[in-house]
Amino acid sequence: IPDEYVSALSRLQDQVPARPFPVIERQVVRELRRPLHDVFSQFDREPIASASLAQVHRATLKDGRTVAVKVQYPGIWDIVRTDLDSIRFLLRILAVLERNLDFGPIIEEVSRNVPLELDFINEGHNAELIAANFGSRRDVIVPRIHWAYTTRRVLVMELLEGIKITDVDSLEGAGIDLQAVSQLVTDAYCEQLFLHGVFHADPH
């Protein structure tokens, strides 16, 4: 893929324009059924990151633990449903043009898995599955899920500080061996796929 495409697409990981804080606050209050100050002693108005389906805010629970709060955008399911309908429509057209190819399995796979992206309870369970699978390794850490404050549209997890893997200058500045990081990512990804039977769709 050309570098220009990689640069543009990578911004969708965590640099999508953020939704206004009042929108996010209403979504959290609606999901948790209580005001922010009942759950959090502090909640940053500016997100740490914002992607296509949700954005993440740093917050502090009443007991002092620092957490990452992932908040799904209101109305995102309607957009995803429209996108799914469009994909199905396009694949039906392709099926007419390419009669030797069966697009049915693709349609079924997309229709089954895309809605799961919008279920943060499912995401939390997947995180715990991966944590258990890598439980014997000290070099792979998965944030803990705070289930008391997690719903299908709000995911509260342990906040782990770190350096983004694409921030090469900061990694080198911290004295981190880039080759070792690359090897670790490859090993972990292959272990998930070939030993655990788990396909991680967001390797970034």
Residues that are catalytic: 202
Total residues found in the chain within this entry: 204
Cα angle vertex 192, ends 188, 193, to 5°? 120
Strands (DSSP E) contained in the chain are 40-43, 49-50, 54-61, 66-72, 154-158
Neighbours of 192 (CB within 10 A): 19
Token duo for residue 165: 């893997």
Whose tokens are 């002092």? That residue is 64
Q: Please, which residues bridge with residue 157 across strands?
A: 68, 145
